[in-house]
């Protein structure tokens, strides 16, 4: 073989093909492509004769066509398929070669795979790739983990295909082993919250404001010119504008209102629960999808009492602005919670993750790309130890000017019987954070009462237990004695 490829792609379904085409379109790259069924490989090469591909019929050909250190990106469905391809490559690769998993893998799988693969002297990189099919082709946001050494080879290749935001490629070495897939998982969790918040804003505008889908599309397009500017707001306007060709009805009215999911939102919440980090906005978004899909329960519910009070809207313009502010404030909470979860994960798994850089690489290419990620990046850039995004000066001001609208929208929606789980839980989280005293003190008392779980006092060091079934005197104890 004359010239070898500097990068290879295994798995040529839409995401893999698009990523391979993106790679091949960048100067300096020659891309080996391989798929289990050779027809797909042949089709890709036939459809793009201009592309700088080396088509491999077998995995041995594929490995032989790569220059050293061999670098291959796996783009197959997450799960058993990924393990199978890793094994095939690991059997053939040599010391220093790099296996990249570009799928949406669970980060704990990535931790396991990294251990197994690196024990053979190879590098294993779990890389989160966001941006859907179009992003893969034109420029995604890429979140690679793995060793710093592998990033020396991989970094320039990934930079060549990543989206560009403000002149910078949307890729950074997130951290070692599973850090990249962890951050991609949180990205998806935030994506869930963002989508749910937008959906709640739509629902409130429609139900309380009596706007039509196309009018709401215009409202979203307007919002997209300001601080809410983002890909998700932009596509929401597009979806709401869409008219069903069959019936002439708004597209949004002919779609079954049961939201699907592939699992990354659930993983985010499960992981955050384990880490003890409240990602309540993300959790509500996941649960809202679950509730929507409980068809039998929902069918049985219309006889339930309403007890609602109509939301009388006198000034429609002011109402729309209130909803916008409620959306913005709730969205800030969702991102604050997501970044908290990244920090907690980094601590737990010993990753050195720069939160400002994560915000930077989410400014372009990915699904949650948004104008205000610049502000998040500035906030963590100024203070890497920022306790919460909500404490940054810019976001404090943003909340300050939104909070009364936020309260009004949550209260009125609840009175009117319009479900707003993500709006309401974000506000509750905010109030929980603000509260000088929380009723957690009472919970501690209850725990000590029934389980002698002990408590700490506000005025003394030490751990205490009250003899509830005795004379109710207090004894100082140690947590390990219970
Ligand atoms: C992305 C997306 C992508 C995928 C989601 C969809 O970043 O490009 O997040 O990974 O579209 O996983 O997830 P659900 O099917 O769970 O909504």
264: Cβ below 6 Å to ligand 1? yes
191 is catalytic: yes
pLDDT at position 8: 98
- Report how far ligand 1's centroid is from the alpha carbon of 164 (Å): 21
Q: Residue 153 above 50 pLDDT?
A: yes
- Report how far ligand 1's centroid is from the alpha carbon of 237 (Å): 19
Nearest residue (CA) to ligand 1, atom 5: 188
pLDDT at position 480: 52
Q: Residue 482 above 60 pLDDT?
A: no
57 is catalytic: no
Per-residue pLDDT reduced to its tens digit, 239-297: 999 999 999 999 999 999 999 999 999 999 999 999 999 999 999 999 999 999 999 99
Per-residue pLDDT reduced to its tens digit, 334-392: 999 999 999 999 999 999 999 999 999 999 999 999 989 999 999 999 999 999 999 99
- Report how far ligand 1's centroid is from the alpha carbon of 170 (Å): 18
Which of 77, 126, 139, 188 maximizes ligand 1 atoms within 8 Å of its Cβ, making it the mutation to test the pocket?
188
Q: Residue 144 above 80 pLDDT?
A: yes
Per-residue pLDDT reduced to its tens digit, 292-308: 999 999 998 888 999 99
130: Cβ below 6 Å to ligand 1? yes
pLDDT at position 2: 61
Average the pLDDT over 402-415 and give the result. 98
- What pTM value is reported for the model? 0.96
367: Cβ below 6 Å to ligand 1? yes
The percent of residues above 70 in pLDDT, for the chain, comes to 99
Q: What is the 3-state secondary structure (H, E, C) of the chain?
A: CCCCECEEEECCCHHHHHHHHHHHCCCCCCEEEECCCHHHHHHHHHHCCCCCEEECCCHHHHHHCECCCCEEEECCCCCHHHHHHHHHHHHHCCCCCEEEECCCCCHHHHHHHHHHHHCCCCEEEEEEEECHHHHHHHCCEEEECCCHHHHHHHHHHHHHHCCEECCEECECCCCCCCHHHHHHHHHHHHHHHHHHHHHHHHHHHHHCCCCCHHHHHHHHHHHCCCCCCEHHHHHHHHHHHCECCCCCCEHHHHCCCCCCCCCHHHHHHHHHHHHCCCCHHHHHHHHHHHHHCCHHHHHCCCCCCCCCCCCCCCCHHHHHHHHHHHHHHHHHHHHHHHHHHHHHHHHHHCCCCCHHHHHHHCCCCCCCCECCHHHHHHHHHHCCCCCCHHHCHHHHHHHHCCHHHHHHHHHHHHHHCCCCHHHHHHHHHHHHHHCCCCCHHHHHHHHHHHHCCCECCCCCCCEEEECCCCCCCEEEECHHHC
Residue of 30, 184, 325, 331 marked catalytic: 184
Average pLDDT, the chain: 96
Average the pLDDT over 58-87 and give the result. 96
Residue of 191, 200, 284, 360 marked catalytic: 191
191: Cβ below 6 Å to ligand 1? yes
């Amino acid at each position: 073989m004359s010239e070898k490829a500097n990068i290879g792609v295994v798995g040529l379904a839409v995401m893999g093909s698009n990523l391979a085409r993106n790679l091949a379109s960048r100067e300096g790259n020659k891309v080996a492509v391989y798929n289990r069924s050779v027809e797909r490989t042949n089709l890709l090469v036939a459809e793009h004769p201009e592309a700088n591909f080396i088509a491999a019929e077998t995995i041995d050909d594929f490995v032989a066509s790569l220059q050293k250190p061999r670098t291959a990106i796996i783009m197959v469905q997450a799960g058993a398929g990924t393990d199978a391809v890793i094994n095939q490559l690991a059997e053939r690769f040599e010391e220093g070669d790099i296996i990249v998993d570009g799928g949406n893998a669970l980060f704990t799988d990535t931790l396991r795979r990294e251990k197994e693969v690196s024990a053979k002297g190879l590098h294993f990189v779990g890389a989160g790739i966001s941006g859907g099919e179009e992003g893969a082709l034109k420029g995604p946001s890429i979140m690679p983990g793995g060793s710093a050494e592998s990033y020396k080879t991989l970094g320039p290749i990934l930079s060549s295909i990543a989206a560009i935001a403000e002149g910078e490629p949307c890729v950074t070495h997130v951290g070692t082993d599973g850090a990249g897939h962890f951050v991609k998982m949180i990205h998806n969790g935030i994506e869930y919250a963002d989508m749910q918040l937008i959906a709640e804003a739509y629902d409130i505008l429609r139900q309380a404001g009596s706007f039509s889908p196309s009018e709401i599309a215009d409202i979203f397009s307007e919002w997209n010119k300001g601080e809410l500017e983002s890909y998700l707001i932009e596509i929401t306007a597009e979806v709401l504008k869409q008219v069903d060709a069959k019936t002439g009805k708004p597209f949004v009215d002919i779609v079954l209102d049961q939201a699907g999911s592939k699992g990354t939102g659930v993983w985010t919440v499960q992981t955050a629960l384990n880490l003890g980090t409240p990602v309540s906005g993300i959790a509500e978004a996941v649960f809202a999808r679950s509730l929507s899909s409980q068809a039998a329960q929902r069918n049985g519910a219309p006889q339930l009492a309403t007890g609602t009070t109509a939301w009388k809207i006198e000034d429609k313009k002011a109402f729309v602005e209130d909803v916008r502010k409620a959306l913005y404030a709730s969205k800030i909470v969702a991102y604050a919670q997501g970044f908290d979860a990244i920090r907690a994960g980094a601590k737990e798994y010993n990753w050195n993750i720069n939160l400002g850089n994560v915000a930077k690489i989410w400014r372009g290419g990915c699904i949650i790309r948004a104008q205000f990620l610049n502000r998040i990046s500035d906030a963590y850039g100024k203070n890497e130890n920022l306790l919460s995004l909500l404490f940054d000066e810019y976001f404090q001001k943003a909340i300050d000017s939104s909070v009364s609208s936020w309260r009004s929208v949550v209260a009125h929606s609840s009175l009117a019987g319009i479900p707003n789980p993500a709006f309401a839980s974000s506000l509750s989280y905010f109030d929980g954070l603000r509260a000088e005293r929380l009723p957690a003190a009472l919970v501690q008392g209850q725990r000590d009462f029934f389980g002698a779980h002990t408590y700490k006092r506000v005025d003394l060091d030490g751990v205490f237990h009250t003899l509830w079934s005795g004379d109710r005197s207090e004894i100082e104890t140690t947590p390990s004695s219970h």
